[in-house]
Amino acid sequence: MWTSGRMSNAKSWLGLGMSLYFWGLMDLTTTVLSGTPTPPGKLEALLSDKPQSHSRTKRSWVWNQFFVLEEYTGTDPLYVGKLHSDMDRGDGSIKYILSGEGAGVVFTIDDTTGDIHAIQRLDREERAQYTLRAQALDRRTGRPMEPESEFIIKIQDINDNEPKFLDGPYVATVPEMSPVGTSVIQVTATDADDPTYGNSARVVYSILQGQPYFSVDSKTGVIRTALMNMDREAKEYYEVIIQAKDMGGQLGGLAGTTTVNITLLDVNDNPPRFPQKHYQMSVLESAPVSATVGRVFAKDLDEGINAEMKYTIVDGDGADAFDINTDPNFQVGIITVKKPLSFESKKSYTLKVEGANPHLEMRFLNLGPFQDTTTVHISVEDVDEPPIFEPGFYFVEVPEDVAIGTTIQIISAKDPDVTNNSIRYSIDRSSDPGRFFYVDITTGALMTARPLDREEFSWHNITVLAMEMNNPSQVGSVSVTIKVLDVNDNAPEFPRFYEAFVCENAKAGQLIQTVSAVDQDDPHSGQHFYYSLAPEAANNPNFTIRDNQDNTARILTRRSGFRQQEQSVFYLPILIADSGQPVLSSTGTLTIQVCTCDDHGHVLSCSPEAYMLPVSLSRGALIAILACIFVLLVTEHMNIVVPTVKLFVNTLHPLHL
């Protein structure tokens, strides 16, 4: 049975007693260092409070554990402890057996004495403990003298590992001008030694490089700012070296270092400043709107968004003539032309330009205004400019009956230059291919050269040119739009040839035709036509006309009883008059055929004269012929072919036959 002053697991230690001797940490240390093992003894004696031969304080004991220091470098096997059975009389009859983790490879046992030795170098960081089993056998019979029991060999730590920064090197940032004590980053070092034993793994942090700008908390590894008003513009990058030392920082402890690269982040603590308080620029008077005049730049020591600039014109006599925009890529102010310039009108301008930060740091406003101003002087340079027309566009209205050579407009241009050269006028012939107009070369009088006809061309768009006599390359132009006004120079007339028919059995007052007229003129008040019978037909006994007052008229019969044999065609002259000044009129003729009709007014046959000459066949005659053919087809279907043929023959005039 394994003996112990404080047996807590009696069930696993039944049988004959066998003693397992253990040494405390200090005893083991002394044993290893001296090379002399502590004499074995009863466990009860080792656990007692009696003083030992060494004057040191007793440690607490664990009854089923051995302790052995790691990293033993001696040439002899390292003594670990001793197994002993109470049945062992020292005559070698007991054989001790060791099994389990590392048995025979890492640990060996003297099977006679029970002494355990380590035969390999032990590293606690690789393995902290081994679980083994011990047994006592009768050497002669091999019979177990004790039940197999389990025990542990713990590897005692020594300080053989320096602290390491596993995440280093570190990169950190902190805003410039941060208050003292601002946290930057926390670094952490780990020590592979046993943190539960001694100070081998107790790490203390210190700063080797980076003072007086930064400090480190010795316990937590938190790096903080240590200097007021750290200015990025003065120094932006810092390399800080942090040391971690074990043994609580005591002499003899192991140390490791890491580098922390700290960058100061920019804040808007610098106002913009113009390096020049006065700029001198020039621009040609011919420069177009939006043309670039020059650039100004306000320097800002900050960067990024804190160096962004906004330029504005805050004063000066050129605020209405020039504009300024900010180039976001280079943060410069670009001055451009806002409206056309004239050297003759104003030769120079002065601008007061402001450059300001649009993004401000409120806590730095006490540094002063975050804007600056500069003065820009702009000179306008003279160029030889082409003549300028005043006004820049002409609109002329002229009646179409204007006489040839009439001046319809005076075109005026002048040389804008100081020299005020003489001007010569001409018409761009591509704009007046019909040559309806010409312009006086010296006076600019625009006149008609041909008769105008609104009904042919109601609009003319011509271009008048003005050229400097001393410099023919300088040519100006202006557009002249001419509207030709209508005069009443066209009489109304029928839009087509009118032809009608009247039935032999027509009654008086019967409508036989509605006529209308057209007029090429275009009076402002609109067209209004008046219809009447021509004077030579004013007392026509056969037909009359009624004006509908809507630019149309009705033709009515005045009697009944028309006969083809008496007269097959009537020609009715109609007088059409407009409402213009002067009144214009024309006479149109309505041709009226006398036809035979049924009781419903449907044409059966018309005057045979319609068939005499095909060349002069009228539209009414053709209609009558087609009507007869239609009747023929219908009557054929009704089995009355013969009367119909007779009727058709009777429609033919004897002269046609």
The string of DSSP letters for 228-285 reads TT--TTT--EEEEEEEEESGGG-TT--EEEEEEEEEEEP-S-S--B-S-SEEEEEEET
Sign of CA dihedral 59, 60, 63, 67: negative
The partner residues of 645 in beta bridges, in order of sequence, read none
Q: Do 136 and 200 reside in the same domain of the chain?
A: no
Q: Domain boundary residue among 97, 131, 156? A: 156
Residues 6+ apart with CB under 8 A from 67: 22, 23, 25, 28, 153, 154, 156
> For residue 620, what pLDDT is reported?
57
Q: Is the pLDDT of residue 650 over 50?
A: no
* Residue 162 resides in a domain: no
* Residue 273 resides in a domain: no
Q: How far is CA 595 from the centre of its chain?
A: 82
Coil, strand, or helix at residue 160? coil
> For residue 130, what pLDDT band results from cuts at 50, 70 and 90?
very high
Q: Do 179 and 292 reside in the same domain of the chain?
A: no
Report DSSP state, residue 126: T
* Residue 2 resides in a domain: no
Q: Do 400 and 447 reside in the same domain of the chain?
A: yes
Q: Do 174 and 147 reside in the same domain of the chain?
A: no
* Residue 212 resides in a domain: yes
**Number of compact structural domains in the chain:** 5
Give percent of the chain above pLDDT 90.
52
**First vs last C-alpha separation in the chain:** 166
Q: Do 404 and 287 reside in the same domain of the chain?
A: no
Q: Do 641 and 505 reside in the same domain of the chain?
A: yes
Coil, strand, or helix at residue 459? strand
Q: What is the mean pLDDT of residues 590-604?
A: 89
Q: What is the mean pLDDT of residues 15-36?
A: 34
Domain residue limits at 308 = 278-381
Q: Domain boundary residue among 128, 156, 184? A: 156
> For residue 290, what pLDDT band results from cuts at 50, 70 and 90?
very high
Residues 266, 268, 271, CA angle at the centre, nearest 5°? 130
> For residue 128, what pLDDT is reported?
86
What's the rounded Cα separation, in Å, for the pair 385 and 413?
12
Q: Do 470 and 405 reside in the same domain of the chain?
A: yes
> For residue 38, what pLDDT is reported?
35
DSSP3 helix / strand / coil % (the chain, rounded to 5):
10, 40, 50
Q: Is the pLDDT of residue 472 over 60?
A: yes
Q: Is the pLDDT of residue 132 over 90?
A: yes
Q: Do 503 and 644 reside in the same domain of the chain?
A: yes
> For residue 484, what pLDDT is reported?
93
CATH of the domain at 547: 2.60.40.60
Q: Do 566 and 635 reside in the same domain of the chain?
A: yes
Which of 79-93, 97-111, 374-388 is predicted least confidently? 79-93
Q: Domain boundary residue among 110, 133, 156? A: 156
What's the rounded Cα separation, in Å, for the pair 604 and 504?
11
Structural contact between residues 98 and 109, judged by C-beta atoms closer than 8 angstroms? yes
* Residue 327 resides in a domain: yes
Q: Do 174 and 249 reside in the same domain of the chain?
A: yes
Q: Do 17 and 151 reside in the same domain of the chain?
A: yes
Tokens of 19: 């003693």
Q: What is the mean pLDDT of residues 62-76?
A: 75
